[in-house]
Structure 1
């Protein structure tokens, strides 16, 4: 099987897996949001920084090292497995004893018991991290789909059942644990791999040498992405944190889904061609254009239709989250650009540059956040928007030197897509407010009508501009 055929096949299964799983997750989230209160989501949001740090430390970048490495043996996989398992137990007990301190930070006594149960997830996840890395390395996304769909569905239905019977925030806790447990069982079944009782110090040093820098950069990224949760949770009400949490989660849906699919396929693929800079640049350019072609318009139409979306899906009690959501959607457009510029450094084995970049960005970020706090929650949100642009410039400056793809050239390749998305947004916004809203079609009618108008305008504008992603899509998918 050629690299192109393998990539297209993997993309097909990865898209089916990602979107089927996310569709199920989305429906479950909607059901839970209609039953539970924003404050209960806020309590779980307070754990995000703890869970993020724990998960990053647990992996230590070793899974990424397995995916990018060649000539792996059974000793490599088993060594990483037992390191992750031992590390997960240590991390769990650290979280167990830190629980009272975190509870006092947020002034929420209930967090002590929640943390001590929820973080059992670390130990459960350690049992399938290597099996998952093997499936990703083999680009076997069909098996991952068969694993994740049942786990998400059964765990989600359990969460809704518990929420309906008055378990409140604990329904979210048991949902997470059930999904991880089911995922572990099925990873062992589908991967067909069982660790050997071996721990090789040389194998560990090999993977840790690459992974520890990725871990440090990952920790910096986790701290940055969750510092907003800490500040809002510490200085504002748990209900406001719940609004922010839902707004962020919803704004990240299209970004994470599309970007994650492309990332999971392209990371192992990029690793195969990492020594050919010209080919890497060519493939990277086309993938970036394709991702932005889908992400940008989805986020813009979500901004325009934010109010009817929240009212229809979550009910009126979540409307205060709408302005948060709109700002975060705008910032989310830059996320794929940042992520894929960093991917170039990773496949080149330059984890040292990734760490240096994250250090520089987070230093700038801390100064900006300190200044933004004086302007309240909206100051923090608008800073996220500004920093997303700054981070892109910093990331692309470094990666461009490795594959000869400078910032200016990236911008020239992407601006027609941004222009088409913005033109479609302006025209749809005017039609929505002057024609669609007065027709009183209801929230669902407005979403469908204005959404259809935007799709038509965006597609026509894209054809007028002769956007490259449209042609690539026709060649790769439609075979025309």
Structure 2
């Protein structure tokens, strides 16, 4: 199969998988949000950073090395498998012992037991990380879809059942663990790979030399993404944290379904053409424009309809989260740009540069947060928006040099898309403010009218500006 056909197949199946999983997960979240209180979601949000750090330590570096490396043997996969498994047990013991300290930090006594149970996910996930890496390397997203959709669906039903029967925050904990368990079982059923009882020091050194830098980079990224949760959870009410976590979760839905899908496919694809800079630049440019063409208008539309969206889906108790959600949506518009710039460095094997860039960004981030913290939660949110653009600039410096695609060229390629999205969003916002809202339409009607109006204007303006992604989309998907 040619690279083009393999990429299209990978995109199709991965998008179907990601969209199905996120749609089911979002539906489950809506039901749970209607049953549970913001404070109960706030408790789980307090633990997000610790769970994410643990999973990053186990999955981030060595599995990324497996995906990018060629000529792998059974020794490579088995070595990574047993390293992850042993590491997960050690990590769980550390978290178990530190749980009372974390509970004391947030001044929430219930967190200690919750974390000790929730962290069992580390060990469960370690049993399928290598199988999942092999499927990704082979771009076999069809099998991944068959695995993830049933796991999320059945696990979601289980969580809703527990919530309806009064389990409160524990319904979220047991739902997460059950989904991880089902995912593990399904990976072992669908994957024909099994580990051998072997551990190669040579293979470990090979993957660790690349992987530890990626792991450190992943940790820095996770700490940055969750530093707002730590600060809000420590210094503001648990209800505000619950509102912020829901706003962030909903804003991530289109980013995950569009950006992460392409990212998962393009990493192995970029790796296959890593030695051809001219071809790599061309493919990167088309994908970047294509992703932004869909990602930007969706996020801007969601920002416009934030208030009726939260009122309709999550009930009025979650409407105070709408302003948080609007800022986070705008911040997520250019996420694909700096994420893909880092992908270029990854396929070039420059994990040292990635780590260097992450250190620079996180130092700037910490200094900025300390400066805006006195301004309250909105100061933190607006800094998150500003830092998103700054991070893109920093990420593009080295990758632009490597493939001769400067930030000036990148901005020139994506600026028309951003302008069309912003113009459409402004018109839609004014129409909603001075017409749809004043007519006191029900929330659902406002959402539908705004959506239709937005995409009609966006389609007309995109056609008028002759945006490149329209023609690229036709050539990539519609032509045989």
Tell me the distance in 1 between the aligned counterparts of 2:471 and 2:271: 26
1:221-232 equivalence runs, <5 A: 221-232=221-232
Deviation at 1:433, TM superposition (A): 2.3
Paired residues of 2:48 and 2:226 also in contact (CA < 8 A): yes
Counterpart mapping for 1:53-452 below 5 A = 53-452=53-452
- Tell me how large the CA RMSD over aligned residues is: 0.8
TM-superposed deviation, 1:99: 0.2
In structure 2, distance between residues paired with 1:142 and 1:250 = 25
Q: Partners in 1 of 2:409 and 2:219 — Cα distance?
A: 31
Instruction: Verify the 8 A CA contact 2:338 2:395 in the aligned structure 1.
Output: yes
1:395-442 superposed Cα distances (whole Å, 9 cap, x missing partner): 001110110000000000000000110111112122222332233331
Is contact 1:38–1:242 with CA below 8 Å preserved after alignment? yes
TM-score (norm 1): 0.99
- TM (norm. structure 2) is 0.99
For 1:35 and 1:358, locate their aligned partners in 2 and report how far apart those are by CA, in whole Å.
39
Note if contact 1:60-1:208 (Cα within 8 Å) is conserved in structure 2. Answer: no
Q: In 1, are the aligned partners of 2:88 and 2:126 still within 8 Å (CA)?
A: yes
1:135-158 deviation digits (Å, cap 9, x = unpaired)? 000000000000001000000000
Deviations 1:189-208 (A, max 9, x none): 11111111110000000000
Q: Which whole-Å CA distance do the structure 1 matches of 2:37 and 2:170 have between them?
A: 13
Question: Contact 1:305–1:447 at 8 Å: present in 2 too?
Answer: yes
The answer to whether the Cα contact below 8 Å between 1:233 and 1:241 also exists between their aligned partners in 2 is: yes
Report how many residues are paired: 480
Offset of residue 60 of structure 1: 4.9
DSSP-derived class of the 1:333 partner? coil
Quick one: distance in 2 between partners of 1:56 and 1:14?
21
Distance (Å, rounded) in 2 between the aligned partners of 1:256 and 1:24: 13
Q: Return the alpha-carbon distance in structure 2 between the equivalents of residues 225 and 265 of structure 1.
A: 23
Counterparts of 2:476 and 2:363, CA distance in 1: 42
**Mapped partners of 2:57, 2:327: distance in 1:** 31
Contact 1:397 1:407 in 2 (8 A): yes
CA-to-aligned-CA distance 1:333-366 (integer Å, 9 cap, x gap): 1211111110000000000000000001111111
Aligned residues of 2:67 and 2:136 also touching (Cα < 8 A): yes
Deviation at 1:320, TM superposition (A): 1.1
In 2, Cα distance between the equivalents of 1:253 and 1:161? 24
Correspondence 1:461 to 2:461: yes
SS in 1 for 2:401: helix
User: Does the aligned pair in 1 maintain the 2:291–2:336 contact within 8 Å?
Assistant: yes
Q: Which runs of 5+ in 2 are unaligned?
A: none
Counterpart-to-counterpart distance in 2, 1:302 and 1:463 = 22
Output the CA distance in 2 between the equivalents of 1:376 and 1:382.
10
Deviations 1:301-356 (A, max 9, x none): 11110000000000000111111111111111121111111000000000000000
Kindly indicate whether the alpha-carbon contact (under 8 Å) linking 1:243 and 1:321 is maintained by their aligned counterparts in 2.
yes
